Every structure is written in structure tokens, then in C-alpha cells.
Structure 1
Amino acid sequence: MQLALTPDERAVQDVFVAFFTNESPPEIVRAAEPLGFDAELWAKLAATGAPSMALPESVGGGGADLAALAVVVEEAGRTLAPVPLIEHAIALRLAHAADLDATTLAAIASSNRIAAIALRPAVGGTAGLVPAGAVADVILVLDGTDLVLAEVPAPAHAPANTAAAPLADRPLGGAKVLATGAKAARLIARARAEWFALTATEAAAMGRQVLQLGVDYVMERTQFGVPVGSFQAVQHGLADASVRIEGATLLAQRAVWALDADRPEANELAAMAHLFCCDAAQQAAAASMQFHGGYGYAEEYDVQLYYRRVKGRMLLPGSPGSQYQALADDLLGPVSGGAS
């Protein structure tokens, strides 16, 4: 595992630091609420090739690995960019792994159309609460024992949620079967792991940025004639949050590396990273809100945007308890029988 960015990754980082700083300022993020999607920003991002960069060049992609894509995701997370970068990129990779014909895949990858994956199996012919489902044109989901691709009509509405996440239930009429049985289960498990790892990367970046907002605030806010940041209780709270974010960043990097290297523990590492990074980012956001005082809860301040977003990212696959249980079952095997 290499912690330092390669020269190519550094170049990608430089490009997208500038891109998201310029194109996704807080004003754009706020204007995209409550849906959490900016079509103009998506078109600009698509023009850079980032959403399809982790596809092979033969089908219209950039031939990059997950580590390079994670560099872009990190900058999108830092600025809370209201675009479904992770969902679209992972859906394209899943479609390619499932041998979707190259013409169809290239058509999706080279346009402004949006693909998404459902993190939960379909129920009754409907994919439920699909991340980016409110804006997606194409959905990939496990329906029974089949992995299917469905061209979906625009939803009637997106369920209201305080995380400004473009969720929606989408019907699967006329879906095309891409894989069945064990192959379908393996492919969707891999796609979920990639989603977990990249969302962990995004969450760690959110946590780092919201922590910086807190640091900046306590350095300029004064009380009793001195900066609030000079008090030990504030310093210790921010330092604790910073340590957690650094650990989260390392775990996210390891999960991405494990997936790129096809390590046997990759799926479990990705699930761990998602849980730990989202939790660390939530704690960082909570600390930053606390040290902002009452301003932290005001809509005029950006800190609350980060708090809501990262909380939503944690809950997208289900409750934290169910996620921890699923991870424990994968690592240790399901619990059989009851307590004696």
C-alpha cells in the first residue's frame, strides 16, 4: 500500500481541487437543495471525463483505477459537490463487469445520462431508496437472484430528507438481466464494496473540511479578550476529532488499495471504512458545530451542511446497527440459535 500520491494522481488532484473550488462553492450547494443535484455542475463534471474515468478506454473510459477516482471523490466531498459521482462511476464499473454490451455502455459513459446502483435488493419489482435514484436514467439492482439493468422514467417525486440526498424508489419494468445466481451476487457485492470505499473517502474529506471550518472559527472568535481556540477544552476537542479523521483517511485509503489489488479482505475493509469514516466525520462535524456555538445550528453557516450530508451518507445502506451486524456476519459467520 502506497500512501503518497503518484505524480499522475497529484496532477489529477491539482485539476479537481481547482474545479470543485470554482464550480461547487457553498452557494451552489445551497441552491441545489432540497434535491441535492445540480444539472449544470454535472454537465461540467461529465465534460472532464471524471465520471467515467475508472472504465477501460475501450468503452469510453479513462482507464484509471479506483485510487485515481478516489482522488476526485475526495475533492467532491470536500466541497459537498451536489453530483452523483460515486453512484454513477460505480454503476458504470458494475455494468462493464457484468458484460453489458460495449455500445450501450459507451453511450451511457459518454453522455450526461446518470447511472446508479441500488444498495438493497429490489422488492416487488421496485428498487427502493436508490442513491441518486431521483436523477438517474439507468438503475442496476439485484432483483431476486438476477442482476438487472433498467431504463427508468423520471420519478414523480423524491422523498424529503434533511441530507439533501437525491433518493427515490424506481420501478424496474422492462429490466434487462445482466447476470444471474452466484455471479450476480458476486458482482453486486463488489459494487457495494466499491461504493463503501469511495463513500468512506468522501466522508473523511467532509470531516476534514468541517473540522477546518471549526478551527478557523475558534481562531477568530474571541471570548474574555482571547481567541476561543486558546482554551484547552476547545483544543482537545478539535485534536481528538483530527486524530479520528486521520485514522479514517488511512482506513479509506487501505480499502481502496485492497479493492484495486483484489485482496481477499477487500469487501470487509470497505464496509469497515464506510462505518468508521462516516462516524469519524459525524463526530468532527458535531465538534465543529459545538465550537461554533449557536451559529453552528444556523442555516447561514456552512458547518450544518456537512453535518447533514455525512449523517445521510452513513444511513444510505441502512441503519448503522444492521451494517455492523452484516459486517460481523461476514467476518465471524452468522449467529445461530439464541442466548442460553
Structure 2
Amino acid sequence: MAGYALRRLDPSLDENQDVVRDAFADFFTNESPSSVVRDAEPLGHDAALWRKLAGMGVASMSLPESAGGDNATLVDLVLVAEEWGRTLAPVPLASQVVATRLLAATGAPGAVVSAAAEGDRLVTLAHHPAYAGAAQLVPDAAVAADVIALVGDELVLFSASAPGKHVPNQGSTPLAWWQPDDAVTRTVLATGAEATTAHATAVGEWKLLTSAALVGMTEAALRIGVEFAKTRETMGVPIGTLQGVSFPLADVAIAVAGTRNFVYQAAWLADHEPGSRPELPLMVFDAARRMATHGTTTAAHVQGGLGFTTEADSSLYFLRAKGWSALVGDTGADLRVIGDRLLSARRG
């Protein structure tokens, strides 16, 4: 089998990707313990933590060298996002990374791209088409005054005087209502087919990064549940020796591994065969949200009544698995798009 064909089926990482993953794993582990996560509630944003993360180049790493980046791949980015989710770090990572990539790809003014890449200017993405007078919930719009949205056949950067008002939500994220009328200035980034394609690509990238975060948070919740099962005893034996406890945990571990490979493969294809499987990011996101909801619920159940207390870290993961999965609305629309694309490909 040719090397390229083999790589399409192999989700393993190379040495450089291991280094990227380990570096950000160390950062998030050291800088975002559960106490930091709790202190950032309910907004879900720690400005000091974000400045440290931005200093590591998280928003600029995937930009081309001409824009001050390091040419990092989407696979590199999902590795970072997985570690982000593992610690539930209260920072707008997915939105800022995707929006910065979109600004650079559409030739936005250099000063805007630089400020976003350095993390000084927070920018987010409206996932649904925007209309005058119509508001939609936008992830991270409670901390970002700049929103990129698709309006008709134009991709526009809307800049307001301040971020939107925070909408409290189960996932403790900076969610806010937003509409084009809130903007003070608007900058057209692209028009026509270029605009719709660029927007769809960005939405897909956001879902890939968020899927990776859901994988990380589910694995972290699983570890909490496993440790509890190893030390909690009933009738003189650890509860982990009971099939009714160990088998559900094993099922979650299998689901985490499979979803991780799915995320890696979709990211690799998006890098090397862009446009070939546009439905994959939507499929990955649906798989990840189902896996995360089931996995974090199982981890909480293992701990009995303790797992559902607000003091238990497992509750942090459970709430965010549910909340982050719902940030862009009902995924039923994604399932219809997936079906249409698969049917079109089969007919074609």
C-alpha cells in the first residue's frame, strides 16, 4: 500500500505532534486546575489564563509564515483542543483559533489578523446565517466584540463597541445573543461562493476542535470514575471488580478511543484533501457529543450520590459535556446535511 493511502487510514502521531500535545498538556495541567475553572464561573473566561495561552502562540500557530504563523496543521490544533477540554480551561480557544484562521485566509487587514493572532483582539464566529434584526446565540460573544458572520453572500467582520451580554448556560461558557445591528463597523471579507465556502469551512473547523475538547473532557471524567472504582469498596472488595461497574467504564474507554481516532482522521483529511468529505466534521461533532454525554454520565453514576454534588469535579465535566455540545443548537440540522451530502455523493 502506498504511504499516502496508508496514512489516510492511520491516526497515529509523529514526533513533532507528540511534542505539541505534551507541551500544551503540561500548560493546561499546571495553569488550569479545577479551582481555576470554578473561579471563572459563570462566565467561563479567565483573562489572565488566556493571556498566558495566547503567549504560547495558540491562535497564530496554524497561520502561514507570511502571517506570522508556524504552518501548524489541523491535526496539531485538535491535539491542543483535546488538552484544553481535558482541563476545562476557561478560555475561548476554538472560536479564537478558527476566527483567526478565517481572517488570514480571507485577506483581512494585517493589523486585524495580527491582533487576533496575538490574542489581544478576541474574535468569534456566528455559526448560522445572519439577518438584520434577527439575533442568534453566538459562542464566546460575551467576551469578543468582533464577530464574523455570513450575511447573504457576504462574509463580514462585525465590530461592536463591547462584547454582548452574557447568557448563563449549563456549560459555563461566554455565550451571548448577537445580531448584525449591534455592530459599529463592518468589514467585508469575502463574497459569493468564496464567502459561503470559507464560512462552512470555519464552522467545520470549530466543530472539529470542540469535538477534540469533548474527547479530552470525557477521558478526564473517565479517569475520575476509574480511580473512584479502584478505591471504593463494597462487601470487602473494590467496586471496580464488579461487572456492573467495570463494563460500563470499559465501554466509555472504547468510545473515547474510537471518537479520538475519528477526530484525528477528519482533521487529517481536512488538511490534505480539503473539500473531499465536507460532512465529516459534522459527523465527528455528533459522535463526540453523544460520546461525551454518555461518558461523563457514566463516570458520575459510578460515584453514586457523590458524583452529582457540585463539589465533585465529575460534575464539572458532566455539565460541560452537555453544555458545550449544545452551543450551536440542535444537531438535527447537521444530520440532515450529512444525509444530503452522502446521498448526493452516491448519486454523483
- 2:266 corresponding residue in structure 1: 255
Q: What CA distance in whole angstroms lies between the structure 1 residues aligned with 2:249 and 2:54? A: 36
Change (3 A) 1:250 1:163: same
Alignment of 1:1-340 (within 5 A): 1=7, 2-125=10-133, 128-155=136-163, 157-170=165-178, 171-332=182-343
How far 1:127 moved relative to its partner? 5.6
The AA in structure 1 aligned to 2:124 is: A
Q: What CA distance in whole angstroms lies between the structure 2 residues aligned with 1:317 and 1:24? A: 25
Q: Which moved more, 1:138-147 or 1:167-176?
A: 167-176
Q: What CA distance in whole angstroms lies between the structure 1 residues aligned with 2:14 and 2:188? A: 39
1:90 and 1:195 in contact (8 A); partners too: yes
1:278 and 1:314 in contact (8 A); partners too: yes
2:59 and 2:116 in contact (8 A); partners too: no
**Structure 2 length-normalised TM:** 0.92
Q: What CA distance in whole angstroms lies between the structure 1 residues aligned with 2:188 and 2:140? A: 21
Q: What CA distance in whole angstroms lies between the structure 2 residues aligned with 1:150 and 1:156? A: 12
How far 1:79 moved relative to its partner? 0.5
The AA in structure 2 aligned to 1:325 is: R
The AA in structure 1 aligned to 2:322 is: K
Q: Post-superposition, which runs of at least 4 consecutive aligned residues in structure 1 deviate over 6 A? A: none
Q: What CA distance in whole angstroms lies between the structure 2 residues aligned with 1:81 and 1:321? A: 28
How far 1:293 moved relative to its partner? 0.2
The AA in structure 2 aligned to 1:293 is: G
Change (3 A) 1:265 1:283: farther
Q: What CA distance in whole angstroms lies between the structure 1 residues aligned with 2:197 and 2:321? A: 28
Q: Size of the alignment, in residue pairs?
A: 333
Q: What CA distance in whole angstroms lies between the structure 2 residues aligned with 1:286 and 1:144? A: 40
Change (3 A) 1:200 1:142: same
1:288-319 deviations in Å (ceiling 9; x for gaps): 11111001110000111111112122212221
How far 1:258 moved relative to its partner? 1.0
Q: What CA distance in whole angstroms lies between the structure 2 residues aligned with 1:127 and 1:149? A: 16
2:145 and 2:163 in contact (8 A); partners too: no
Please report the RMSD computed on the Cα atoms of aligned residues, expressed in angstroms.
1.5
Q: What CA distance in whole angstroms lies between the structure 2 residues aligned with 1:73 and 1:329? A: 29
The AA in structure 1 aligned to 2:54 is: A
Change (3 A) 1:208 1:148: same
Change (3 A) 1:111 1:36: closer
1:84 and 1:132 in contact (8 A); partners too: yes
- 1:336 corresponding residue in structure 2: none
Q: What CA distance in whole angstroms lies between the structure 2 residues aligned with 1:99 and 1:263? A: 19
2:208 and 2:263 in contact (8 A); partners too: yes
How far 1:82 moved relative to its partner? 0.6
How far 1:33 moved relative to its partner? 0.5
**Structure 1 length-normalised TM:** 0.94
Q: What CA distance in whole angstroms lies between the structure 1 residues aligned with 2:145 and 2:65? A: 23
How far 1:18 moved relative to its partner? 1.1
2:126 and 2:138 in contact (8 A); partners too: yes
